[in-house]
A and B are shown apart, each in its own frame.
Chain A
Amino acid sequence: MKTEELNTFGNLKARPLEENLASLKKISELKKEIEKLLKRNEENR
C-alpha cells in the first residue's frame, strides 16, 4: 500500500491530537486480537 491510501481519510494532520491518539489505540487493540487468534490457531494445528 502507498502512503496516498491514507490520504483518502482526509488530512489526518488537521485532526486534533487526541482523536489521532484514540484511533491509534483502537488499531493497536484490533491488531493484538488478530495476532492472538492467529497464534491460537497455530497452536491447535
Chain B
Amino acid sequence: MKILKPQEYVESTNNYNLDSYVVYLSDIKTKLEEALNEAKEMQLEQSVVDNLENQLNDILDILNFLEKHLYKVVLASIENLTLEELKTYSEEEGDTLRAEIKDLEDELSALKSSLDNLNSQIESEQSRENKFKAMFSIEDTNEFFKYDESEEFARFLLDTDLNEESLRVWIEEAIDRVIKEDEGSIDLAKKTSLVNDALARLRKVKNIIQYSPEAKEELIAKIISSDEFNPLVEINMQECESVMIDILGRMILLLKEKTEFFKGLDEDVQNALLCCRFDGETYYQLKDYYEMIKAGKHLPSHEHIQKLIEKRDACEEEYSKIKKRFQEKKNSLNRFEQFLDDGAAMRKKLYNQICHAIEEDTTLEDVEKAIEDYCSNRESLEKDLRSKELEISTKRSNIEEARDILNEDNSAFRSFFYAVSQSNLSRILKDLGVDYSSACVEPIIDAEKKRLEQIEWMCSLQGELQVIEGKIRSLKAKSNPITKLTKRYKRALDELEKEYASVKTKKFKESQEKDLLHISSPQYTFDYTIEGQPVRVPKVASVMVSTFDEIFTVEHFFWDFSTPLSKVANDRIANRIYEKDWDYITGTTMPLQRALVKKLWYCQTDENGHYIFKMTETERNRLIQLQKDIIYIAQEIEKEQRYYSVNIDSARTSYTNGSFWKEKEKLRELGIIGENEAAVTSFIAESEKVISKNIAYLQAYSSLCEEFGIEVPKNPEVADQSPDLDKPIKDLHIPGVTTVSEAKDYMAMLKSLELFTISEESVKTFYIDRVKKN
C-alpha cells in the first residue's frame, strides 16, 4: 500500500484539511497494525514483517515533519498576536483573581461583624461583673447577708447593746410593717402595749443572760421555738398573736433594707428582693456571688467572659490571616493588571502555556531541575544502594536461616505452640465467664464433699429408721388380731412409733445444724457466640455441681420417703443428666458423667414413674462409695488442671530461655510476620526490586551525563552492566518520560523545535557546571 504524502493526499482527495490527513494516517496505521499481527500469526518471512514496519516508520517520519512545522506555525502565530488578542488569552486568570478577592472580602466583612458583636458582649459582661464587684465591696454588705435565720437575729439582738429608744422605734416599724402587709389596723394603745411588752421581754432575757451567760443558748432556742417562753410572741393580746410572730422576721427585713448595700442595688433588684422578703432566688443568688467574691473566687460570668475572649482572639487571628491573603490577592491582581500591559511577558507566558498544552506540564526548566536534583541526589543514592545491597545480603542469609527454622521438624516449636493454644483456650473460657482452671475445680470438690456428708447423713437416717420399721413389721407379724387388741401390743407399737418419730426429729435437727438439707452450688452461664458462631463451652462445673441439687435440695417431707419427687422434677433431672452438653465433656470428665448417671440409679421409680429415694443397706453403701469416687475424680481433674498450668509455665520458661526464643526474635526483627513462607518470598522479591530499581536509576543518570558529554566515574557495581535504555527513571517528573530512551528523545525534540535560543554547547556547559559543583 502506498502512503500518500500531504500533496498527493490533497490531489487525490481534494481535501485540504490537515486534521483529515492525520485521520487518514491513523487509519493506515490501524490497517498496518492488523497486517503486522496477522503476518506474525501466520509466521511469514521476516522480510514481510520488515516491510510493514518500514511503512510504519514512513508514517512516523511524516508525522515528525508535520509536528515540527506546526510548532513553528504555532509559535510564529503567538509572535504575531496583538496586545488585545494576547489579553483575551490571559484574561481568565484575572477573572479568577477577582472572584477570589470578592470571596475574601465577604469573609472579612462577616468576620468583622462577628468581632464587633463579640466585643460588645464582652464589654457588657465585664461592666456587669465590675458593677457586682463594686457593690459587694460596700462596707455593710456583710450585715445585709448576715441574718437569714431568726436564731442568728435573736443572738444579734441579745449580744448588741442597743439603745432602748431606737429598739422601740425598730419594733414599732416592724409591727407597722406586719399590720400593713396584712391590711389590718391596730389602735395606738394596743400597739404601745405590744411594743412595751416586747421590750420588757427582751430586757428580761438580757437580764438573765447578764447574770447567767450559760443560759444564753437555751434562751435563744426558746425565743425561736417555744410557745411558752417567747418574749415577743407571748404577748397577752390574743388577737395580735399572729402579728407578733412575724415581728422578728420584719425586724430582719428592716435591718437589711437600711443597709447601704441594699440602697445601692438597682430598683428592679430591690423589688425582686422585697417581693420575696429576702428569701427568694434573687437573694440567694446575690448571696452566692457575695460568698464567691469573699472566698476570692470568680463570679460565674467570669468563665463566660473568658470563653468570649478566647472566641474573639480566634476570630481576630482568622481575620488577620484572611486579611493577609486578601492583600496578597490584591497585589497579585495589581501585578496581573500590569502584566496585561506587557505584551512580551504575555507572549512568554503563552509560549509556556502552549508547551503545557502540547506536553501537558513540561518545560525545559522542569527537565533542568529534575536533572539538577538527580545530580545532587546521586552521591547519597550510590551510598544508599551499597548499604541496601549489604543489608539485603545479610537479610538473605537471615531468611535462609529463618526458612530452616520454619521448615525443621522443631519439637520445641510445636510443644510451645501447643501449650500456647491450650493457654489461649483457657483464656477464652475465662473471658466467657467460665473459669476452666484448678481454681474453679476447688469449690466443686468442696460442694461434692458437702454432698457426701449429706448422703452419709441421709443413709444413716434411713438405716436407723429401717431398723425401727423392721421392729414394727416383726411386732405386727408376731401378733394376731386378738393380741393386737391388747394394751401391751398397743403400748409396744406406740413406743416403736414414738422412737421412729424421735429418730426423725433428732436426725433432722442434726441436718439443720450441719446445714445439710440445702446445698447450693456455683452456677455458670452456658451458651456463647464468638464472631457470630454459636459455641458450646464445656460446662463441667455447672453440670457436675448443679445436677443433684434438685434431688437433694428438697423440702423435709421428701426425707419421709413417703412423698416421691414430682414427675416435672423427675423429667428435669433426667434431662439434665442426659442433655447434649455432656457430649462436649471429654477426657477425665467422662468418668464423672458416668458416676453421676449411676447416682441417679439409686433414685428408684415407682409405678407412676416417680422417683423414690429409698434404698437397701447395700445400695446406701454403694451410693456413699460412689460419692467418694466422684470426689476422687474431681480431685483428679483439679490435679490435672494444676499440672496443666505448671506445664504452661514450664513450656513458657523453656521457650523464653531456649534457643527457639532467639530464633523467633530474629524472625520478628527481620519483619517476617506470621512466620509463613509467602511473607518470606514476598520480602525477598521486594528487596530484589529495590536493588534493580536503584541500578536502573544510576544507569539512567550515567546515560543522561553521556548524552551531554559529561564524564561519569563508573560505579563498580554498575560498570559491568550494559545500559538498558528501557529501564525506568525514578523521580523524573516529566509526563510521558519514564525511561532513559524517552528522556533522550525528549531532549532531542526540544532542541529540534528551536524553541529556545540555547545552543547544544551551552546546554553541555550548564550540566558540566552542575556536576562540577556537586
Contact = CB atoms under 8 A, between A and B. Distances in A.
A13 B18 CA distance: 12
Given A1-B65, A35-B60, A27 B70 contact: yes
Given A13-B73, A33-B29, A27 B357 contact: no
Contacts of A12: 18, 70, 73
Nearest to B15: A9
A24 B65 contact: no
A40 B62 CA distance: 21
A20 to B, nearest CB: 5
Interface string B29-59: 1000100100010000000010001001101
B66 A27 contact: yes
B354 interface: yes
Contacts of A38: 53, 56-57, 60
Given A1-B65, A33-B29, A23 B22 contact: yes
Interface in A1-45: 1, 3-6, 8-10, 12-13, 17, 20-28, 30-35, 37-38, 41, 44
A24 B358 contact: yes
Given A3-B69, A27-B66, A9 B21 contact: yes
Nearest to B70: A24
Interface size range on B against A? 35 or more
A6 B6 contact: yes
Interface in B59-84: 59-67, 69-71, 73-74, 76-78, 80-81
A6 B74 CA distance: 14
Contacts of A31: 60, 63-64, 67
Contacts of B112: none
B22 A30 contact: yes
Given A8-B6, A13-B77, A37 B17 contact: no
A20 B19 contact: no
Contact of A1 (B25, B49, B62, B80): B62
B736 interface: yes
B269 interface: no
B28 to A, nearest CB: 10
Contact of A25 (B17, B66, B73, B357): B357
A21 B5 contact: no
Contact of A34 (B10, B60, B357, B736): B60
Nearest to B736: A32
Contact of B19 (A6, A23, A28, A41): A23
B62 A20 contact: no
A18 B26 CA distance: 21
Given A9-B16, A13-B76, A41-B36, A23 B70 contact: yes
B113 interface: no
B18 A23 contact: yes
Q: Residue among A3, A20, A34 with the most chain B CB within 10 A?
A: A34
B7 interface: yes
A31 B71 CA distance: 15
A34 B73 contact: no
B49 A41 contact: yes
A26 to B, nearest CB: 5
A30 B29 contact: yes
Contact of A5 (B7, B40, B59, B81): B7
A9 B18 contact: yes
Given A30-B26, A34-B29, A34-B56, A9 B17 contact: yes
Q: Residue among B18, B56, B76, B77 with the most chain A CB within 10 A?
A: B18
A12 to B, nearest CB: 5
B358 A25 contact: yes
Contacts of B66: 6, 27
- 8 A-B pairs with the lowest CB-CB distances in the bound complex, closest first: A9-B18, A8-B10, A5-B6, A12-B73, A31-B63, A27-B67, A8-B7, A8-B6
